[in-house]
Amino acid sequence: MTTVAQLVGAPPAEPPYDIVRAAYAELQVTDLDASEVFYAGLLGMVVSARTDDAVYLRGWEERLHHSLVVRRAPVAAAARLGFRVRREEHIDLLAADLAARGLRTALSDSADPGLGRVLSAWDPFGYPLEFFHHMEQHETQLQRFDLHRGAPILRFDHVNLHVPRPEEAFAFWSGLGFRCSEYISTDGDDERLTGVWLLRKPSVHDVALTAGRGPRLHHTAFWVGEPAGIVRACDQLAAAGHATAIERGPGRHGVSNAFFVYLRDPDGHRIELYSCDYYTGDPDLRPLRWSVNDVRCRSFWGTKAPDSWYDESSLVLGPDGAPVGLRDAGVDERAQRSEVLA
């Protein structure tokens, strides 16, 4: 039987396509104006385009057209998770690979402004994935310090998924070439993964998997340049009357070393502002293990995460446009913690 250490330590697959990184998310929202106020007005993201039913946003460093789409819909949900591939033909190689695994896929020219041809696919657990190569470029606004507002948000960093069985989901992503940087697991004979971080770009992750009721999108994370920016974002939200948007933090993660804060948007979608992780691009990177009983694994300072952070997440949309049904997780990180540390 494969142990957790063997699972996460095995070299990832080397498929014929190259997924460069996680690149965008599309969130369905019930009040588009409120969402634009939140993401553009309060967090200070740059608006690249507006359509009748959607706003396309990007960070100040980003040259690609958008890294977040908020779209008006009757139900709040995560509609798509976007990944960039290195070459246009990798879309086709990936389509063939996923179809060969029996997954539902579709190739199309995207209706989104700035975006080219896309491969839509649903992974074996129900997550709506989208792969693209071409996206229109803008000039970077990294050094328009005079215009920066909010944190500021510089770029898309990663998505974190609530998955009932992290081991199974890990195998899927490893098969696409994602490598493990860190993981949390239970102690004792029946070791179980409660969280695992996977990367393509050389940071700690592009995709993280968190044990929990799913399939759901736990959060979407954006990169901020330094901890002071994350503190400033909290100060600004509170000053503007949105203190309740701050769910957890600011704090320091044990896993990833990131200085972070978790926010909830007007529909409850969770956003992480994230900074201070590290370089992971060397070929012999070894996964770091954290025991679930190490009080510092999630919050390096020992701060307890609120239950909402474990329990609540965004539904994801299936091929029919309706939220995918949920399954409970086989392990709850909170229950595993020894009483001594609680």
Contacts 24+ apart (CB under 8 A), 93-102: 93/15, 93/16, 93/17, 94/15, 94/17, 94/19, 94/119, 94/121, 94/131, 95/119, 95/121, 97/15, 97/16, 97/17
143 binds a copy of itself (CB under 8 A): yes
8 A C-beta contact, residue 129 and residue 80: yes
**Which three-class secondary structure state does DSSP give residue 180?**
strand
- φ, ψ dihedrals at 249, nearest 5°: 95, -170
**Which three-class secondary structure state does DSSP give residue 146?**
coil
**Which three-class secondary structure state does DSSP give residue 190?**
coil
Q: What is the dihedral of CA 5, 9, 13, 17, to 10 degrees?
A: 120
The smaller minimum CB distance to a copy of itself, of residues 134 and 213, is found at 134
15 binds a copy of itself (CB under 8 A): no
Q: What is the dihedral of CA 267, 44, 246, 292, to 10 degrees?
A: 90
Min dist CB 243 to a copy of itself, Å, is 4
317 binds a copy of itself (CB under 8 A): no
Choosing from 105, 110, 236, 291, the residue that interacts with a copy of itself (CB under 8 A) is 236
Burial of 202 (0-12, 13-18, 19+ CB in 10 A): middle
Min dist CB 228 to a copy of itself, Å, is 5
- φ, ψ dihedrals at 5, nearest 5°: -60, -40
259 binds a copy of itself (CB under 8 A): yes
Burial of 49 (0-12, 13-18, 19+ CB in 10 A): middle
225 binds a copy of itself (CB under 8 A): yes
13 binds a copy of itself (CB under 8 A): no
The smaller minimum CB distance to a copy of itself, of residues 81 and 169, is found at 81
274 binds a copy of itself (CB under 8 A): no
The smaller minimum CB distance to a copy of itself, of residues 74 and 241, is found at 241
250 binds a copy of itself (CB under 8 A): yes
Assign residue 59 a region: left if phi > 0, alpha if psi is -120 to 50, beta otherwise?
beta
Task: For residue 215, give both structure tokens.
Answer: 């399939």
Q: Which of residues 153-192 bind a copy of itself (CB under 8 A)?
A: 154-155
Amino acid found at 267? D
234 binds a copy of itself (CB under 8 A): yes
The smaller minimum CB distance to a copy of itself, of residues 2 and 278, is found at 278
101 binds a copy of itself (CB under 8 A): no
Q: Which of residues 106-135 bind a copy of itself (CB under 8 A)?
A: 133
The smaller minimum CB distance to a copy of itself, of residues 212 and 225, is found at 225
Min dist CB 62 to a copy of itself, Å, is 9
Q: Which residues bind a copy of itself (CB under 8 A)?
A: 20-21, 42, 61, 63-64, 84, 86-87, 133, 137, 140, 142-147, 154-155, 201-202, 223, 225-228, 231-232, 234-240, 243-244, 246, 250, 252, 254, 257, 259, 276, 278-279, 281-284, 286, 288, 295-296, 300-303
